[in-house]
Structure 1
Amino acid sequence: MIEFDHVSVTFDGADQPALRDVTLEIDEGELALVIGRTGSGKSTLLGALTGRVPHFTGGTLAGHVRINGRDTREHRPRDLADLIGVVGQDPLAGFVTDTVEEELAYGMEQLGLSSATMRKRVEETLDVLGIADLRSAALTELSGGEQQRVAIGAVLTTHPKVIVLDEPTSALDPTGAEDVLATITRLAHDLAVTVVVAEHRIERVLQYADTVVHIGTNGVVTQGDPAEVMLTAEVAPPVIELGRWAGWSPLPLSVRDARRRARSWRQLPPGQPATGQHSAGEAAAPAGHPHEGEALLEARGIVVRHDGVVAVADVDLTLRSGEVTALMGRNGAGKSSLLWAIQGTGALTKGTVRMTNSIAGQAIDVRSLDAAQRRRHVGLVPQSAADLLYLDTVGAECDQADRESGRDPGTCRSLLDDLAPGIPDDRHPRDLSEGQRLALVLAVQLTADPPVLLLDEPTRGLDYSGKAALRRALHGLTARGRSVVVSTHDVEFVAETADRVVVMASGEVVADGPTRDVVVSSPAFAPQVSKITAPQPWLTVDDVRYAVPEPS
């Protein structure tokens, strides 16, 4: 179905190819998982598959890419529209109509199909995806998981032979991600659709993959059986890290398989690991217990309404120095609305937000401050970090941050080098990878050195090493007495990073406590290691390494 024949892609001005001599085949009805470090070339591979590379992006493509026998050299993306459906990272950004039914029909209208055919396929797709009850719903009112399923349905109605998905679960809560992955798997198994998924959260998809395509940092691509490829892959989820350390062969790809291998570990005398949630080499707090630092910010009675809908319902939250707080909950729970209300820019229907230990040495109302003052007290990195970047070069962004914050020249640049070294000053922010853009925005916010830093879904687009760098940066802040709040669906990042977890549902706080106590008791938010080793109290691979005797 998909064939890459000695394909290399070199972009104009690049010193080396983004992809180097790629030869692979993906058969009909297979689910192929594309993995690799941030910036390794995953998007380039997907672009070559769909014909966007080099027809839209420029550069030089050597070799041949064939989709069901059609060569992308001779067929532009529009000529492949009946063969390939593409679902991007942000489904809402790709919608062109207002309701579910209209969106499902739109692609068929562009192909000139008859009304009778369109009606039949819409009904079939509604049933296949289990969204018949959403037929007349407005697209903007759907949850993230529902939007993702509608986006898949919009391409499925055109009866493509191949569906390409770019990070389909990155913005979804664990339950929503499971629903979407069940849909994707059904397409491959029941409808013989070839599915190609590029995903950073490998732990969510790996167990469903028939084949893995690994892109190395040098542009070299390997393909093969998932267990074999993951033995040497540069990126690996906790279940694979655990299997490598324990010497399990073949490597388990799912929690279920790993749990069978870890039976002896679960029978060990229970005990608290001493490593805490911090990775090796980092300062560690007592395992699973938040820091008892002084209160920096107190939010009381926070109520937020959007067009009459209650997004946050009477929430109290205290943020303390030296503490990383994870804010979790399903899509639409009110996490982002709470963060923006605390920062002072977003809507606030009722309640107060006060810095109890402010720069001025006295309690102040955050919302009474102007934008420049507020930035010095509470920093916020939004979901779309690039929204805060508006200048033409990385150097200009850093210089502007130094001036606005009244810091010495080079402060922001130094922070950026700590987070993501090697980014040239003359590089345009839009040419950076997702991880590099996040690092730049984080450096800009940290230049003001606020006591409280809020991050909304900061791990989107980051590979495991990128998350580790972010984790080190956040722990460096808390070591200096700052307070950090991370709103995220990434349970693995929470397990290794957070001291405290606050769970929201329908705008209310339903759980608030030490990370270990909250996540272990939740099937949805428990990390892989916890599921594998329960009833042991371990959350991370480092916890297991410390508590279990070294495998022989």
Structure 2
Amino acid sequence: MIDVERLSVSYPGPAAPVLSEVSLHIDEGDLVLVTGRTGTGKSTLLGAINGLVPRFSGGRMRGTVRVAGRSVAEHAARDMADLVGFVGQDPLAGFTTDVVEEEIAYGMEQLGIAPDVMRKRVEETLDTMDIADLRRRSLRSLSGGQQQRVAIAAVLAAQPQVLVLDEPTSALDPTAASDVLAAIGALVWDAGLTVVLAEHRLERVMKQVDRVLWLPGGGRAELGPAPEVLARADVVPPLAELARAVGWAEVPLSVREARRRVQRDRLEPRLVGRPAVPVGPTTVRARGLGVSYGPVVALDRVSLELDAGRVTALMGRNGAGKSTLLWALQGALRSTGELEVAGADPRRLGARAARRIITLVPQTAADLLYLPSVAAECARADRDADAADGTTRTLLERLGLDPPPGADPRDLSEGQRLGLVLAIQLAAGPAVLLLDEPTRGLDYEVKHRLCAVLRGLAADGTTVLVSTHDVEFAAAVSDRTIMMADAQIVADGPTREVCTASPGFAPQLARVLAPRPVLTLDDVDWSGAKAARP
């Protein structure tokens, strides 16, 4: 179905080619997972499959890419639309209309599909993606996760032969991600759809894939069976960490398989307690905080307190009110109820003064970047925060991200842009840091570094609240977890208790080793367990 021969892609500048002499073949009906560290060329490879690269990305491409025998170099992207459907990392940027059902129908209209067929497909796709209740909603009124499901639905409705997805579950809660991936898997198995998807949260999708395409960097690509490729890849999902810790040659692809291996090998890990986290004074107090948009109640009389020195995770389904709560705490929304942050109400302060006590890294972090270079953004952040020259750049390096000073922020990867925005926001030295889905676009290594940075900030006395659908990240970074549903807080307690109480929000290791109270690999010592194996 997809043939790539000696594909090389390079962009202007001294950097080496992103892809170099890549050759591979993907069979019809395969589900292939593309993985690799941030910046290794995953999005470039996906874009080359339907002709977006280099036409819309710039750069230079050599080699050939054929889909069902059709050369992408000889056909414009619009001429590949009947064959290849593409969903990028930012769904909102790809929308053409204003209303959900109109967006789903738009692609079919461009392909000249008959109105009666379009009507039927719209209904089928709304049901497949479980978004029928959103059909008349404005696209801009949806949460990030809802927008992502609509974007996938709009592509599926045109019934392409190949579906290319770039981070399709990055904004979805665990249950929604499972539903979407199950729907895609059903199309692969029942309709012969060929799917190529890039995903950083491998634990969500690896059990469904036929093969893994690993981009190790240096322009190279390796395609092979998932258990073998993941065993040597430098992207290490939780089950791969477990396999390496206990010495398994191949990576189990599902919780069920991992549990069976643990039982087969009679592994009995020793539990290691986490050190107690000293908690400082309460810095955030909210009482009866409410936000409404006309008849829609987005935040329903929420009360909570947050303490200095602690990282708190905020979780819940898409549309539960998590982002609204963050914006309300920052004082950026018109809200009712009482709010006190570091002794002041941010709703009554100017933006500059409020930023010194509480700051937010939004879900679409790139919205805060508007200058032509990384250096200009860093210098402006230093001035706005009245910080010493180089403060923002130093914070960026602490994250393990070091983009060239002259690089345009729009040319950075998602992870690099997030790191830049986080450094900009931290330059003001706020007492409270809020983050909305900060791990979107981040590989495991960068997430580990982000976890260390946030825990380090908490240790220095910062109050950190992280809204996330990434259960593995929440388990590693947080001491306390708040769960939201229907604009209210429905659970609040230690992360170990809240995250393991629901299978949907439990990390993989917790499910593998249940009923042991384990969240991450750091909670267990495998040395004795390995020695005890027959």
Inter-CA distance 185–411: structure 2 relative to 1 (3 Å threshold): same
- Cα offset for 1:84? 0.4
Q: Which amino acid aligns with 1:481?
A: G
Q: For 1:147 and 1:411, how far apart are their aligned partners in 2?
A: 36
Q: Choose which of 349, 354, 361 in structure 2 pairs with 1:369.
A: 349
Q: Is residue 329 from structure 1 mapped to residue 321 from structure 2 by the alignment?
A: no
Q: For 1:20 and 1:34, how far apart are their aligned partners in 2?
A: 16
1:255 — aligned with what? 255
Bigger Cα displacement from structure 2, 133-142 vs 232-241: 133-142
Q: Which amino acid aligns with 1:13?
A: G
Contact map agreement 1:502 1:513 (CA 8 A) in 2: yes
Q: For 1:348 and 1:210, how far apart are their aligned partners in 2?
A: 49
Q: Which amino acid aligns with 1:300?
A: R
Q: For 1:412 and 1:130, how far apart are their aligned partners in 2?
A: 43
1:199 — aligned with what? 199
Contact map agreement 1:343 1:380 (CA 8 A) in 2: yes
Q: Number of aligned pairs?
A: 532
Inter-CA distance 417–91: structure 2 relative to 1 (3 Å threshold): closer
Per-residue deviation, residues 258-304 of structure 1 (Å, max 9, x unmatched): 011122798849x7523x2xxxxxxxx33xxx643221221222111
Q: Is residue 462 from structure 1 mapped to residue 442 from structure 2 by the alignment?
A: yes
Per the alignment, in what secondary structure is the counterpart of residue 412 of structure 1? helix
Q: Is residue 402 from structure 1 mapped to residue 402 from structure 2 by the alignment?
A: no
Question: Normalising by structure 1, what TM-score?
Answer: 0.91
Q: Which amino acid aligns with 1:453?
A: L
Inter-CA distance 58–157: structure 2 relative to 1 (3 Å threshold): same
Q: Is residue 113 from structure 1 mapped to residue 113 from structure 2 by the alignment?
A: yes
1:273 — aligned with what? 272
2:481 — aligned with what? 501
Per-residue deviation, residues 68-106 of structure 1 (Å, max 9, x unmatched): 001122122122111101122333443333444433322
Task: Trace 1:422-441 onto structure 2 (pairs within 5 A).
Answer: 422-441=402-421
Q: For 1:421 and 1:233, how far apart are their aligned partners in 2?
A: 21
Inter-CA distance 296–92: structure 2 relative to 1 (3 Å threshold): same
Inter-CA distance 73–340: structure 2 relative to 1 (3 Å threshold): same
1:411 — aligned with what? 391
Inter-CA distance 22–473: structure 2 relative to 1 (3 Å threshold): same
- Cα offset for 1:126? 4.7
Q: Which amino acid aligns with 2:383?
A: R
- Cα offset for 1:117? 3.6
Q: Is residue 316 from structure 1 mapped to residue 315 from structure 2 by the alignment?
A: no
Which consecutive residues of structure 2, in runs of 5 or more, have no partner in the other structure?
none
- Cα offset for 1:143? 6.1
Per-residue deviation, residues 495-528 of structure 1 (Å, max 9, x unmatched): 1110110111111111111110111111111000
Q: Which amino acid aligns with 2:326?
A: L
Q: Which amino acid aligns with 2:310?
A: E
1:154 — aligned with what? 154
Contact map agreement 1:300 1:353 (CA 8 A) in 2: no
Task: Trace 1:14-163 onto structure 2 (pairs within 5 A).
Answer: 14-126=14-126, 128-129=128-129, 139=139, 147-163=147-163
Q: Is residue 8 from structure 1 mapped to residue 13 from structure 2 by the alignment?
A: no
Task: Trace 1:145-544 onto structure 2 (pairs within 5 A).
Answer: 147-263=147-263, 268=268, 272-274=271-273, 276=274, 285-286=275-276, 291-355=278-342, 363-544=343-524
Q: For 2:63 and 2:396, how far apart are their aligned partners in 1?
A: 38
- Cα offset for 1:201? 0.6
Contact map agreement 2:510 2:519 (CA 8 A) in 1: yes
Inter-CA distance 142–366: structure 2 relative to 1 (3 Å threshold): closer
Q: Which amino acid aligns with 1:104?
A: I
Contact map agreement 2:31 2:195 (CA 8 A) in 1: yes
Per the alignment, in what secondary structure is the counterpart of residue 216 of structure 1? strand
Per the alignment, in what secondary structure is the counterpart of residue 8 of structure 2? strand
1:280 — aligned with what? none
Contact map agreement 1:412 1:443 (CA 8 A) in 2: yes
Inter-CA distance 493–127: structure 2 relative to 1 (3 Å threshold): closer
- Cα offset for 1:25? 0.9
Q: For 1:176 and 1:259, how far apart are their aligned partners in 2?
A: 24
Q: For 1:255 and 1:391, how far apart are their aligned partners in 2?
A: 45
- Cα offset for 1:55? 2.2
Q: Which amino acid aligns with 1:316?
A: S
Per the alignment, in what secondary structure is the counterpart of residue 322 of structure 1? coil
Q: For 1:324 and 1:241, how far apart are their aligned partners in 2?
A: 24
Contact map agreement 1:145 1:180 (CA 8 A) in 2: no
Q: For 2:320 and 2:428, how far apart are their aligned partners in 1?
A: 30
- Cα offset for 1:253? 0.5
Per-residue deviation, residues 170-212 of structure 1 (Å, max 9, x unmatched): 0010111011001110111111010111111111011010111
Inter-CA distance 298–135: structure 2 relative to 1 (3 Å threshold): closer
Q: For 1:390 and 1:139, how far apart are their aligned partners in 2?
A: 24
- Cα offset for 1:399? 1.4
Contact map agreement 2:359 2:434 (CA 8 A) in 1: yes
Q: For 1:11 and 1:543, how far apart are their aligned partners in 2?
A: 43
Bigger Cα displacement from structure 2, 173-182 vs 151-160: 151-160
Inter-CA distance 266–525: structure 2 relative to 1 (3 Å threshold): farther
Q: Which amino acid aligns with 2:404?
A: P
Q: For 1:59 and 1:203, how far apart are their aligned partners in 2?
A: 33
Q: For 1:502 and 1:320, how far apart are their aligned partners in 2?
A: 13
Per-residue deviation, residues 230-271 of structure 1 (Å, max 9, x unmatched): 1111102101110122122432111111011122798849x7
- Cα offset for 1:547? 7.8
Contact map agreement 2:2 2:66 (CA 8 A) in 1: yes
Contact map agreement 1:353 1:367 (CA 8 A) in 2: no
Q: For 1:126 and 1:401, how far apart are their aligned partners in 2?
A: 44
Per the alignment, in what secondary structure is the counterpart of residue 181 of structure 2? helix
Q: For 2:133 and 2:326, how far apart are their aligned partners in 1?
A: 32
Contact map agreement 2:373 2:408 (CA 8 A) in 1: yes
Per the alignment, in what secondary structure is the counterpart of residue 536 of structure 1? coil
- Cα offset for 1:546? 5.6
Question: Normalising by structure 2, what TM-score?
Answer: 0.94
Q: Which amino acid aligns with 2:201?
A: R
Inter-CA distance 122–505: structure 2 relative to 1 (3 Å threshold): closer
Q: For 2:134 and 2:17, how far apart are their aligned partners in 1?
A: 45
Per the alignment, in what secondary structure is the counterpart of residue 172 of structure 1? coil
Bigger Cα displacement from structure 2, 44-53 vs 126-135: 126-135
Q: For 1:491 and 1:108, how far apart are their aligned partners in 2?
A: 36
Aligned-pair identity in percent equals 55
Q: Which amino acid aligns with 1:313?
A: D
- Cα offset for 1:380? 1.1
RMSD: 2.2
- Cα offset for 1:531? 0.4
Q: Which amino acid aligns with 2:89?
A: Q
Per the alignment, in what secondary structure is the counterpart of residue 300 of structure 1? strand
Q: For 1:143 and 1:404, how far apart are their aligned partners in 2?
A: 30
- Cα offset for 1:120? 4.4
